[in-house]
Amino acid sequence: MSGNRGLLEYRLAEAASENRAALVAYLPGGFPTVDGGIEAVKAAVAGGADVIEVGLPHSDPVLDGPVIQTADDIALRGGLKIADIMRTVRETHEATGAPILVMTYWNPVDRYGVERFTAELAEAGGAGCILPDLPVQESGLWREHAEKHGLATVFVVAPSSKDARLATITAAGSGFVYASSLMGVTGTRESVGEQAQDLVRRTRATTDLPVCVGIGVSTAEHARQVAGFADGVIVGSAFVKLMLDAPDEAAGLAAVRALAAELAVGVRKR
């Protein structure tokens, strides 16, 4: 069975045709529970998210800040398995029709088996993976199986990336390019730095892939700013913090939907 890379590409192109940026929402799988995580994804799409990233919780993150780490710890202590991530992808895609990617570090995929992981993700209706710690020069095996199963391979670029390195990364990727707005881990920030705009400009010089900006984007005003120069706006920690701070799951889901609605307005105010 083929994955939904084509659907991801279509949704990003659809947003561009409407002269706006796409809203990409990140939510960790298994948080606060597997069922609760599925409902959180549905809430984000109902609020206006175009694309979803489901995080595969990992005990040794390099990109995730304290908010997402806290949620990941809750999920892992709850006994989360990769099978639960596949279930999350399947049920949320079937319920919403949205393209669903998995954001994961390489170790869980390597241990699970690349062929098994890509085959199961495609069968679940997944659109691809974001792999923040997989070096491009070591990604051949992954990309071979992802291509075979119709999955996008999204790599992360950073403000420190030199132009030649950007060209190497973007040539190997598909779906879109994840541009980190700053050097550091995920989390809400007061503002989105100018270096993000420069990174998008330099990345676009190397590829026709859409460039989506994440890390530090948390408000409708941030979304508006980033939508002015990027093809997509990625928000994660702000959603997770709402869930962590909510008095109960129902309140958390309502807050996720409300924030997604605010951000959806923001990405339309270029």
Residues noted as catalytic: 53, 64
179 beta partners: 157, 213
Rounded distance, CA 62 to CA 105, Å? 9
Cis peptide before 32 (omega within 30 of 0): yes
Rounded distance, CA 147 to CA 81, Å? 25
Rounded distance, CA 66 to CA 169, Å? 27
234 three-class SS: strand
Q: Are 32 and 74 in contact (CB under 8 A)?
A: yes
Q: Are 134 and 142 in contact (CB under 8 A)?
A: yes
